[in-house]
Amino acid sequence: MTAIVDFLNNILWNYVLVYGLLAVGIYFTARLGFLQFVHFGEMFRVIAKSEETDKHGISPFQALTISLASRVGTGNIAGVAVALSLGGPGAIFWMWMVALVGMATAYSESTLAQLYKIENSEGQYRGGPAFYIARGLRAPWAGALFSIFLILSFGLVFNAVQANSIADAVEGAFGVPKLWVGVIVAVLSGIVIFGGIRQIARVAQVIVPVMAGLYLLMAVIVLVMNLSEVPGVIASIFAHALGLQEAAGGVTGGIMAAMLNGVKRGLFSNEAGMGSAPNIAAVATPQPHHPSSQGFVQALGVFIDTIVICTATAIMILLSDVYQFGGDVEGATLTQSALQEQFGAFGLYFVAVAIFFFAFTSIIGNYSYAENAMTFLRADNAVSLGILRFALLGMVIWGAYESVSTVFNAADASMGLMATINLIAIVLLSGTVAKLTRDYFRQRKAGKSPRFEASEYPELLGKIDKNIWS
**What does the pLDDT read at residue 326?**
58
DSSP 3-state assignment of 377? coil
Q: What is the DSSP string of 19-76?
A: HHHHHHHHHHHHHTTSHHHHTHHHHHHHHHT-----SS-B-HHHHHHHHHHHHSSGGG
**What does the pLDDT read at residue 387?**
92
DSSP 3-state assignment of 1? coil
Residue ranges covered by each domain of the chain: 2-460
Q: Rounded to an integer, what distance in angstroms lies between the CA atom of residue 305 and that of residue 212?
A: 9
The series of mean pLDDT values per 10 residues for the chain, 470 residues long, is 77 80 93 94 85 73 85 75 81 89 95 92 87 94 93 85 81 83 91 87 87 88 87 85 55 64 77 87 88 94 90 88 65 78 85 84 88 88 90 88 67 82 95 95 91 89 84
The identity of residue 14, as a single letter, is N
Q: Kindly report the number of other CB atoms within 10 A of residue 2's CB atom.
A: 9
**What does the pLDDT read at residue 243?**
67
Q: Rounded to an integer, what distance in angstroms lies between the CA atom of residue 408 and that of residue 161?
A: 7
For residue 467, count CB atoms less than 10 angstroms from its CB and return exposed for 0-12, middle for 13-18, buried for 19 or more: exposed
Q: Rounded to an integer, what distance in angstroms lies between the CA atom of residue 114 and that of residue 131?
A: 10
Q: What is the pTM of this model?
A: 0.89
**What does the pLDDT read at residue 251?**
43
DSSP 3-state assignment of 126? strand
- Cis ω before 60 (30° cut-off from 0): no
CATH code: domain 2-460 is 1.20.1740
**What does the pLDDT read at residue 86?**
77
DSSP 177: -
**What does the pLDDT read at residue 100?**
93
DSSP 3-state assignment of 373? helix
